[in-house]
Structure 1
């Protein structure tokens, strides 16, 4: 559908991240609290073992520019991850947006958090108007060809995942509300737990053993607990050493008492022998 497009303009005329707007003044406003917390948890637990952290970029509610022929067109995923790109733009700057013709790498996974105003577009249920930019679904599926597209409805706690097969998204059958991504050796699933003081179902990454990837705060808590346990064990060992030393001291006192009792007994026996006119030294 894009083969009839005109040739690309010369490379030096292409707009860069610095030339394109990074904000959406016409948008519906700031994200709600869930749209702030959930991407944070995804970011904190996205640690694929197959990719260096310096070659991963994670974007949250960031403009994603996808069409060099229409450089002002963009989508704004709730969360996405691209692997195989430097963490910093041009190895030196924090990104204002993600410009696909500058980066050269499409996101590997995109997550959209459903809301009443975006649900139909997120699920590919809207049609493209004439002379209008493609829908979000079309961009992810046909232009960027994002391998995994995940949609979560926090109101119904429904998780849906789509994998790119050939040139179309195919919905995955989720038996345990988990999606395994072999290339990353990482999976994404629903976790019941407390994050930022809120207990509910959250989207969270897990490892090859099925264990949830800990957040930095959880790692610190685990380390603090391990340190507390080590200190407790050291205290117990010191207490045991003190008890052993006390027992040794008591045994030494008992042995000394027995020796004294034996010395006294022998002294009494010697005294009796002397009274009988017998020199105990001659016996």
Structure 2
């Protein structure tokens, strides 16, 4: 288990924080990189973003993003990686608590991502799995090196949507070690949150998806699912109210029929004789 009180090892730097570029000065778009390879990647990443709701942190201290530049090197500030999805806890949901982020700049935020998910594709699989190396010493570090050594992200997950399985790497002694997971489920005790595969419909597409669940095993609902649940609850409450009203009306009719029969018999319903 990762100790959230221990901060990742700081990368040595010579520049002062106030001299480093800010989120506004760094590009937020991909420069010279290919776009996402298919429709599946952004939809799966959006499902992760919608359902990332750790129980151990207030919502205003939870941030997650899909396909957002993640700047990590204070010496070469233009270097970044762009995870398919990542989650951060203990940081304001909004940049400086006031606006949406254009990118995530580590030296400004001073909180590293807690979990990163990469969705495997043929063009990125070797790099995502740490099977590539730098050819030249001055080349940017690989994705694996950045997540493991620079950012020291506690949990790195790769999901193969074609093979329908995901692999989990946990940071131990500054190196990633693969965890053995059962039934394609991972429980993150530090977050009070789990991650598993789910067969269902999302954005109108039926397939196997990767999404988060709570300590009771219940799926964290998306906004659409929560809205549907609220509507169902409202309909059920209305149905109960309708049944209660119908029962009340039936009782009133039965009482009125009894009064009418008594009157027809020459009796006063409000002043019946005592049979004692």
TM-score, scaled relative to structure 2: 0.88
Which residue number in structure 1 is paired with residue 249 of structure 2? 242
C-alpha distance in structure 2 between counterparts of 1:146 and 1:12, whole Å: 25
Note the 1:51-200 alignment, pairs <5 A: 51-130=57-136, 131-200=138-207
Q: Cα distance, 1:128 vs. partner?
A: 2.1
Q: Cα distance, 1:17 vs. partner?
A: 1.3
Which residue number in structure 2 is paired with residue 37 of structure 1? 43
C-alpha distance in structure 2 between counterparts of 1:67 and 1:230, whole Å: 55
Q: Cα distance, 1:7 vs. partner?
A: 4.7
C-alpha distance in structure 2 between counterparts of 1:212 and 1:246, whole Å: 47
C-alpha distance in structure 2 between counterparts of 1:171 and 1:138, whole Å: 15
Number of matched pairs: 257
C-alpha distance in structure 2 between counterparts of 1:20 and 1:151, whole Å: 27
Residues 259 and 143 of structure 1: is their aligned pair in 2 closer, same or farther, counting only changes over 3 Å?
Answer: same
Q: Cα distance, 1:12 vs. partner?
A: 3.0
CA displacement 1:194-250 (0-9 Å, x = unmatched): 111101111111001010011111111111111111111111111111111111122
Please list every run of 5 or more consecutive structure 2 residues that lacks an aligned counterpart in the other structure. 1-8, 268-276
Q: Cα distance, 1:164 vs. partner?
A: 1.0
Which residue number in structure 1 is paired with residue 34 of structure 2? 28
C-alpha distance in structure 2 between counterparts of 1:25 and 1:107, whole Å: 22
Residues 92 and 70 of structure 1: is their aligned pair in 2 closer, same or farther, counting only changes over 3 Å?
Answer: same
- Give the structure with higher Rg (CA): 1
Which secondary structure does the structure 1 equivalent of 2:156 belong to?
strand
Which secondary structure does the structure 1 equivalent of 2:24 belong to?
coil
Question: RMSD of the alignment, in Å?
Answer: 1.7
C-alpha distance in structure 2 between counterparts of 1:56 and 1:80, whole Å: 11
Bigger relative contact order (CA 8 A; separation at least 6)? 2
